[in-house]
Amino acid sequence: MIVIMQQGATEAQADHVIERVEQLGLTPHVSRGQFRTIVGAIGDKQPAHQAILEALDGVERVVPITKPFKLASREFHSEDSVVEVGGVPIGGSAVVVIAGPCAIENADMLNRIASAVAERGAVLLRGGAFKPRTSPYDFQGLGEEGLKMLRETGDNLSMPIVSEVLNAAQVELVGQYVDMFQIGARNIQNFQLLREVGDFGKPVLLKRGFASTVREYLMSAEYILSRGNRNVVLCERGIKTFATEVRFTLDISAVPVIKNYSHLPVIVDPSHAAGARQYVNALALAGIAAGADGIIVEVNDRPEESLCDGPQALLPDMFSELVGQIEKVAAAIGRTMVNTNKKKKG
């Protein structure tokens, strides 16, 4: 349930509500909006709890949260959340672009691609150091050496970095280097991993599982939020359907549905959904038009040499064209682009 404080309630009154929530054996989660404070009371509530909390000074009303995902729901936090990643906002009125190679293969390759995407409009750099692959014989990433390369490259270009963590044992290691953890589709119900990144506190990019419903997806986000980490960004990356023309089906409808249910930012990953670069731009633009707060895409200047997902990676010029198209779509729906490193030409 949520305790809605009166407009103008004092800090002392809110603190007393938090103290009383704890005394009742519930866990308090505070959301401070522009006009009023809301205290979430999460746990095994009893019928008498609502009346006890409603009697406290400064409380306007106590409302049950009907959604199973409490902290992710708009009932708990009605305003859109904005997650800061190394100074870059995700959410709000502006659209963000995250780009880079699928996997970090060597320093030269990473520097070339990172420089290309930074020049063309990306504000966060992605790159996999640990790669979950379907086949045990495929390239699995460079591990910590790849993280070091990514960190150095991001620092040189003044770009925050995003990379995937595969299990709970890796969280501390990966967390030493990245500005944002990425949790992939295969780990959406790796609950120990979700708890660990929640405890670590750094922003998390949580991808939807390829067979997960929206409600199941938001329950996974709830694991992170329940540990006190509010910096969660959701990513729709496509689900399995009977379609064979694309790798996965990008569920565009999930974007407005999640926006209706939750205050968390949502981006789309058209690269993994399409599996082929010729479809990536169209899917990205559809996601932005549907209300997504940004995109994460793979870019490679030599995809034929890539050890990982070369066919779905955009060429730099295709990426540049996409950024220009996103600017136009964003403007058409009343949004802007997050300030970019894009060099002005002409």
Q: What's the CATH code of the domain at 22? A: 3.30.70.1140
pLDDT tens string 49-70: 989 999 999 999 998 887 889 8
Q: Answer whether residue 346 shows pLDDT above 80.
A: no
Q: What is the pLDDT of residue 213?
A: 96
Does any domain span residue 318? yes
220 pLDDT higher than 50: yes
Of 134 and 8, the one with more pLDDT:
8
Give yes or no for a contact between 145 and 139, defined as CB atoms under 8 angstroms apart.
Answer: no
Residues 24 and 113 in one domain: no
Q: Is residue 292 part of a domain?
A: yes
Pair (112, 55) in one structural domain: no
Residue 173 lies in a domain: yes
Q: Is the pLDDT of residue 345 over 50?
A: no
Q: Determine the Cα–Cα distance for residues 256 and 300; give it in Å rounded to an integer.
A: 30
Give the pLDDT score at 42. 85
Q: How far apart are CA 337 and CA 341, in angstroms?
A: 11
Number of domains in the chain: 2
Tell me the pLDDT band of 48, cut-offs 50, 70 and 90: confident
Q: Are residues 99 and 59 in the same domain?
A: no
| 201/327 same-domain check | yes
Of residues 138 and 164, more confidently modeled: 164
Rg over CA atoms, the chain: 21
Instruction: State residue 130's pLDDT score.
Output: 92
- 216 shares its domain with 310: yes
Residues 169, 202 within the same domain = yes
CB burial of residue 289 (10 Å; 0-12, 13-18, 19+): middle
Q: What is the pLDDT of residue 340?
A: 59
pLDDT of 221 reads 98
Q: Domain span at residue 182?
A: 83-337
State whether 320 and 267 are in the same domain: yes
* Whether residue 59 is found in the same domain as residue 159: no
| pLDDT, tens digit, 9 for 90 and up, residues 243-286 | 999 999 999 999 999 999 999 999 999 999 999 999 999 999 99
In a domain, 345, yes or no: no
Share of the chain above pLDDT 90, in %: 78
